[in-house]
Structure 1
Amino acid sequence: MSKKSLIKIFILIIALPHLGLLGQQELYMPRNIQSAYEEGTRSFNGMPGDNYWQNSSDYKIKVEVDPQENLLTGSEEITYYNNSPDTLTRIVIRLYQDILKKGGARDWSLPSDGVHDGVQISKVIIAGKEVDMEDRKNFNRSGTNLLITLNEVLHPNSQLYLSIDWNVYISDKVKIRMGAYDSTSFFIAYWYPQVAVYDDIDGWDRYNYSGQQEFYNDFSNFDVEIKVPNTFAVWGAGELQNPEELLNEKYLVRYNLAHQSEDVVRIVKEEDLTEGNIFNNLNEFNTWKYKADYVTDFPFALSDHYLWDGVSVIADSTTDRKVFVDAAYKIESEDFYDVANISKKSIQYFSFEMPGVPFPYPCLTAFNGSGGMEFPMMINDGSASTLAGTVGVTSHEIAHTYFPFYMGINESKYAFMDEGWAVMLPFKFQERMVDENYPRRRNVGSYQRFAGNETEMPPMIPSVLLKGHSYRTAAYSRPGIAYDFLREVLGDDLFTEALQEFIKQWNGKHPLPYD
């Protein structure tokens, strides 16, 4: 059988919603996706169409975190760019933390003390006019979405200016990708009112966030100022703009050294936390300023008692471009002391081996929280009990830099284009880093437990419709081993060449499985 035939079989197995369609000559294509090809925003050669477009936003956010009250208070100014050919009559704002709102729909039951009043909005201004938030017809909160009817329509190739003031409680009882890990350590994610995606497939993305499924965001620019008590460090997506205003001299020297050093620098050690005087204490509060350009989200974390390591790694040999890698972690962690180094080696592997594309961002922070969760330029991982576990979760979450973030994947619909790649890409790295480590075998075993069961669903079914084992099988193990099978069929060179071409054509955009 030819490689071309095997590839067709692979595509059919991974993609088709119904096995009965295997006998057809062409792949089934839903009509909303057909429409995009007819309109020329997509093309059948796998490249963006001549009429491809996507919208974006610029965010300027000022936020204050009160650790004593577990309260985040923010104000943001948003410039929204309508690059579509459509005239928009409303705008959709995501309020992700409404997942914890009393009475909200969620994928899991929560303790009564784990819910709160959701995102508290005090003011919305659009195009210079304050919005009447009591007008339920034109200001409608639905699930985790806020739908606002515009007084004046937003024409194609024009901009909309809006500002929002809000606050939200940071839960220490429920930590669904965000929360308080102790009284003075927090990871802040999906925390700001965010303009939803408007695209060429579905128009406004209005899927509610219920906990299990992940996200779909536009590429935007972020200018964020984070005000915290002067004993706290803040780690955020993007590059810190004012370290000299925040770090006292000894720590500023270490911080700058870490940006150049190929060996891990202990920026803040245990004895430093005991001595104190790490940060500027001229004022009661410090403001940490971060910028992140053309990314899909902005998370941050803070603590007054975390250790801090940093190291530099070359990610592009043609330009010698360096990536700053740091790790912030609990003193009692038994594995995170090596996570900066593991992260460095992961970035080298992804940049030069698989997928062999230079790490696309200037920095990456690994924060020692819980579980394993990815964000642009940040990962939030719990401590693992084995080296294989630490290497596995670290490399998996860093792999997400490419899928979904660099590639703009719609995770809420196509988790297999996100998690499946993050499973497969680091296989060889994970085996190399730990003796007798068999990630391929584990994923095959995971898939075998549910393969052929009536709960096994094709990965092409929108992920937001899947739950439990059906979701995890379709998102992780099945596509992960399918991608690896395709690599074996094509051979490393051809597979890598094809993957690199896909990344080249679609990075910074929103590819579909059909692309």
Structure 2
Amino acid sequence: MKYFKKNLWAILAFVPFLMNAQNQPAKENNQGMFDEFMYRRGNSYRTASGKPGPDYWQNRADYEIEVELNDQTHIATGKVEIEYTNNSPEDLKFLWLHVEQNRFSENSRGTLTTPIQGNRYNGDEEGGYNLSQVKVEGEIAKYIITDTRMQIWLKEPLEPGEDVELSMNFSYKIPVEGMDRMGRLKVEDGTIYAMAQWYPRMAVYDDVVGWNIEPYLGAGEFYLDYGDYDYKVTVPYNHIVVGSGVLQNPKDVLTKTQLDRMEKAKKSESTVYIIKPEEVGTASSRPVNSGKLTWHFKMENSRDVAFGSSKAFIWDAAKINLTDGKKAIAQSAYPKESDGQGAWSRSTEYTKASIEYYGKEYFPYPYKSAVNVAADIGGMEYPGLSFCSWKSKGESLWGVTDHEFGHNWFPMIVGSNERRYAWMDEGFNTFINHYSTLAFNNQEYPSSLDQTRNLTNYLTKETREGIDNYPDVTNLRNLGYTAYYKPAVGLILLREYILGEERFENAFKSYIKTWAFKHPQPSDFFNHMENVAGENLAWFWKGWFYGNENIDIAIEEVKEYQGNYIITVVNQGEIPMPVKLEITFEDNSTKTQILPVEIWQRTDKWDYLLETDKKVKKVQFDAQKQVPDVNAANDTWPSEK
């Protein structure tokens, strides 16, 4: 009160100036920028605070699978048994499965929607499932196959809390080109089989849309429930198989020397060969010299499994240090064409570093193994196993390895719907990759993701698209931005500029822990971040994640006024933003002033009174270039044009 009385006349003298300044032409209000933009109210399944509600549920699928690979015909033949548990509150009269090998048929929707000139998601057109003996509880079942979806009708509805057993036989020709996610690669010492989407998988039934049955077209990836996997892979005796999960019968498929080396690797910080380059293809590298061998793996609480098989594999491994003193093992399998210290000989080192970083920083790694497989695939992730390009080296190999193993957190642990919301796995993963790269080996490799203004070339293109576009709808030329870089930059902006590191990390890590092994929606992420950080961010989600607008903050004018200064800032873009000003005085001292985002709630122009007895030489918005502002020319006074 004393301050008010003492400064009353100064304030009254300033009022006319303020009234004149704030009444300059502008919108009546900007409430539309700050309004809620989607349905985000809570219910008993998903709370308004972004947590699973008291009635949250998700179904479960447990698998037993047997498959055999014929390396002469390239045909996979197998049987899958699924125990499906209905945890929903509804009766289920039918079940939906994904049969995604059907994508590789001549008339699949994916084939017919691929441009004539092709794209990254090319696939062979002579494949597809042959399914037989489709049974429910041991009896032949009625089913319908539509493209990459299979509907199985039940004789009796599956009641809440009940489970049902499904089984079927399958076979298909393994494609050479499997949409950059699977396939086979011929190298000098044999063929590398990258096996993914290799068995019929249950679709997700959830509380949001019911059955999630979008067809498998290309860019859209996966949305799967969690369960336990018990699978056996039968291959020619001279093949090495590496897979998701833990090998159950090492004594049946490895030599005594290899068993000893594996035990050594489990205790070693540095890479240990299981099969050396010079041992590939030799009789001594296999416990038998004819026939077939069956490799048996198990994995718990996973949403999928994948494996690689070849007689051309060099194989090495090292220990992974997990949280709470636990250990896992990093492994790499690659042909001699990929060998070399500048190439795949460092794959296990990269795998180990990536898993250790994310496990420490974000959430404990839940699996006992992490396997990197060299294949003719740019980079593709599955729980506990990644396929990366056999041609990658150095920085490129680190980047793809780190990215694919980062996916174990998004979407393998935090089980979002990749087929609809690519940004919730690719974008979040690209974001954490930035910090992992900065932490790796004293920054051996660079990361420029925090140079957010590199994104402005895309943001100013007429052909740009929004983050919220489904991946299969997005132009492939834009997918890298909409799914990867723009959402990642948005999170960096939120962490480094809007919320600050501590508030952001509290919220982001809480989101991961809260939704681990569950199925969050975009609204759950938005709500949880706001509740933990204590900030209404609707203006940011709306403009950056669910819009196609841009940021353009300008310093319009700096005026002397009664011995002080009036700094006029203008929002010339469509996304509001807190305004961080760096003020440089004539004596080269500086002052940082942050104006909150609320200045834009009533107007597009704002005057800030700078009280100082120093002469102002320069005022700059976002001096550290943390904000992807599309017009740098108006960020500084005096203008630096």
TM-score calculated relative to the size of structure 1:
0.88
Q: Match of 1:126?
A: 136
Q: Cα RMSD between the aligned structures?
A: 2.1
In structure 1, C-alpha distance between the alignment counterparts of 2:131 and 2:389, rounded to whole Å: 32
In structure 2, C-alpha distance between the alignment counterparts of 1:513 and 1:270, rounded to whole Å: 47
In structure 2, C-alpha distance between the alignment counterparts of 1:444 and 1:105, rounded to whole Å: 38
- Higher mean Cα deviation, 82-91 or 432-441? 432-441
Q: Match of 2:53?
A: 49
1:252-267 equivalent positions in 2, closer than 5 A: 252-267=259-274
Tell me which amino acid in the other structure corresponds to 2:489.
Answer: I
In structure 2, C-alpha distance between the alignment counterparts of 1:379 and 1:117, rounded to whole Å: 23
Q: Match of 2:107?
A: 103
Within the alignment, does 1:458 sit opposite 2:488 as a pair?
no
1:125-274 equivalent positions in 2, closer than 5 A: 125-132=135-142, 139-182=143-186, 183-274=190-281
For residues 374-424 of structure 1, the C-alpha deviation after alignment (integer angstroms, 9 at most, x for no partner) is: 110001001455522111111111111100000111111111110011111
Which structure has the bigger radius of gyration? 2
Q: Match of 1:367?
A: 373
Q: Match of 1:330?
A: 335
In structure 1, C-alpha distance between the alignment counterparts of 2:57 and 2:328, rounded to whole Å: 30
Q: Match of 1:17?
A: none
Q: Is the 8 A contact 2:102 2:147 kept in 1?
A: yes
In structure 2, C-alpha distance between the alignment counterparts of 1:467 and 1:166, rounded to whole Å: 34
Q: Match of 1:513?
A: 522
TM-score calculated relative to the size of structure 2:
0.71
Q: Is the 8 A contact 1:21 1:28 kept in 2?
A: no
CA, structure 1 residues 74+436, in 2 after alignment: closer, same or farther (shift >3 Å)? closer
CA, structure 1 residues 113+200, in 2 after alignment: closer, same or farther (shift >3 Å)? closer
Q: 2:500 aligns with which of 472, 491, 505?
A: 491
Within the alignment, does 1:86 sit opposite 2:86 as a pair?
no
Tell me which amino acid in the other structure corresponds to 2:485.
Answer: S
Tell me which amino acid in the other structure corresponds to 2:364.
Answer: P
In structure 2, C-alpha distance between the alignment counterparts of 1:225 and 1:384, rounded to whole Å: 29
CA, structure 1 residues 141+386, in 2 after alignment: closer, same or farther (shift >3 Å)? same
For residues 272-316 of structure 1, the C-alpha deviation after alignment (integer angstroms, 9 at most, x for no partner) is: 125332222176111100001110101111010110010002110
In structure 2, C-alpha distance between the alignment counterparts of 1:90 and 1:282, rounded to whole Å: 47
Q: Match of 1:75?
A: 79
- Higher mean Cα deviation, 143-152 or 272-281? 272-281
Secondary structure in 2 matching 1:425: helix
Q: Match of 1:136?
A: none
In structure 2, C-alpha distance between the alignment counterparts of 1:113 and 1:485, rounded to whole Å: 38
Tell me which amino acid in the other structure corresponds to 1:389.
Answer: S
Q: 1:290 aligns with which of 279, 297, 300?
A: 297
Within the alignment, does 1:300 sit opposite 2:307 as a pair?
yes
In structure 2, C-alpha distance between the alignment counterparts of 1:352 and 1:80, rounded to whole Å: 33
Cα offset for 1:349?
Answer: 1.7
Q: Is the 8 A contact 2:395 2:445 kept in 1?
A: no
- Higher mean Cα deviation, 301-310 or 427-436? 427-436
Tell me which amino acid in the other structure corresponds to 1:114.
Answer: D
Q: Is the 8 A contact 1:59 1:222 kept in 2?
A: yes
In structure 1, C-alpha distance between the alignment counterparts of 2:280 and 2:445, rounded to whole Å: 38
Secondary structure in 2 matching 1:92: strand
In structure 1, C-alpha distance between the alignment counterparts of 2:445 and 2:141, rounded to whole Å: 61
For residues 320-376 of structure 1, the C-alpha deviation after alignment (integer angstroms, 9 at most, x for no partner) is: 1012100001112140000101111112221224x3x22222110000112011110
Within the alignment, does 1:346 sit opposite 2:354 as a pair?
yes
Q: 1:65 aligns with which of 48, 66, 69?
A: 69
1:306-317 equivalent positions in 2, closer than 5 A: 306-316=313-323
For residues 33-76 of structure 1, the C-alpha deviation after alignment (integer angstroms, 9 at most, x for no partner) is: 86xx44x1100011101110000111000110111110000101
Tell me which amino acid in the other structure corresponds to 1:27.
Answer: F
* Structure 2 portions without partners, runs of 5+: 1-29, 525-641
Q: Is the 8 A contact 1:403 1:418 kept in 2?
A: yes
For residues 224-259 of structure 1, the C-alpha deviation after alignment (integer angstroms, 9 at most, x for no partner) is: 011011101101100000101111111111012111
- Higher mean Cα deviation, 172-181 or 474-483? 172-181
In structure 1, C-alpha distance between the alignment counterparts of 2:204 and 2:198, rounded to whole Å: 17
In structure 2, C-alpha distance between the alignment counterparts of 1:113 and 1:49, rounded to whole Å: 41
CA, structure 1 residues 21+176, in 2 after alignment: closer, same or farther (shift >3 Å)? farther
Secondary structure in 2 matching 1:465: coil
Within the alignment, does 1:475 sit opposite 2:483 as a pair?
yes
1:419-458 equivalent positions in 2, closer than 5 A: 419-431=426-438, 432-433=440-441, 434-435=443-444, 437-440=446-449, 445=454, 447-458=455-466
In structure 1, C-alpha distance between the alignment counterparts of 2:411 and 2:205, rounded to whole Å: 17
Secondary structure in 2 matching 1:215: coil
In structure 2, C-alpha distance between the alignment counterparts of 1:87 and 1:455, rounded to whole Å: 45
Secondary structure in 2 matching 1:440: coil
For residues 117-149 of structure 1, the C-alpha deviation after alignment (integer angstroms, 9 at most, x for no partner) is: 4111022011221125xxxxxx22112101122
CA, structure 1 residues 487+441, in 2 after alignment: closer, same or farther (shift >3 Å)? closer
In structure 2, C-alpha distance between the alignment counterparts of 1:413 and 1:21, rounded to whole Å: 29
- Higher mean Cα deviation, 374-383 or 275-284? 275-284
Tell me which amino acid in the other structure corresponds to 1:262.
Answer: E
In structure 2, C-alpha distance between the alignment counterparts of 1:383 and 1:286, rounded to whole Å: 26
In structure 1, C-alpha distance between the alignment counterparts of 2:520 and 2:450, rounded to whole Å: 30
In structure 2, C-alpha distance between the alignment counterparts of 1:198 and 1:384, rounded to whole Å: 39
Within the alignment, does 1:407 sit opposite 2:414 as a pair?
yes
Q: Is the 8 A contact 2:104 2:123 kept in 1?
A: no
In structure 2, C-alpha distance between the alignment counterparts of 1:303 and 1:420, rounded to whole Å: 33
Q: Match of 2:36?
A: 26
CA, structure 1 residues 21+291, in 2 after alignment: closer, same or farther (shift >3 Å)? farther
Secondary structure in 2 matching 1:277: helix
Tell me which amino acid in the other structure corresponds to 1:510.
Answer: H
CA, structure 1 residues 478+173, in 2 after alignment: closer, same or farther (shift >3 Å)? closer
CA, structure 1 residues 186+46, in 2 after alignment: closer, same or farther (shift >3 Å)? same
Secondary structure in 1 matching 2:459: coil
In structure 2, C-alpha distance between the alignment counterparts of 1:24 and 1:105, rounded to whole Å: 40
Cα offset for 1:442?
Answer: 7.5
In structure 2, C-alpha distance between the alignment counterparts of 1:495 and 1:441, rounded to whole Å: 16
Tell me which amino acid in the other structure corresponds to 1:23.
Answer: M
- Higher mean Cα deviation, 451-460 or 238-247? 451-460
Secondary structure in 1 matching 2:523: coil
Q: Is the 8 A contact 2:437 2:446 kept in 1?
A: yes
CA, structure 1 residues 142+449, in 2 after alignment: closer, same or farther (shift >3 Å)? farther
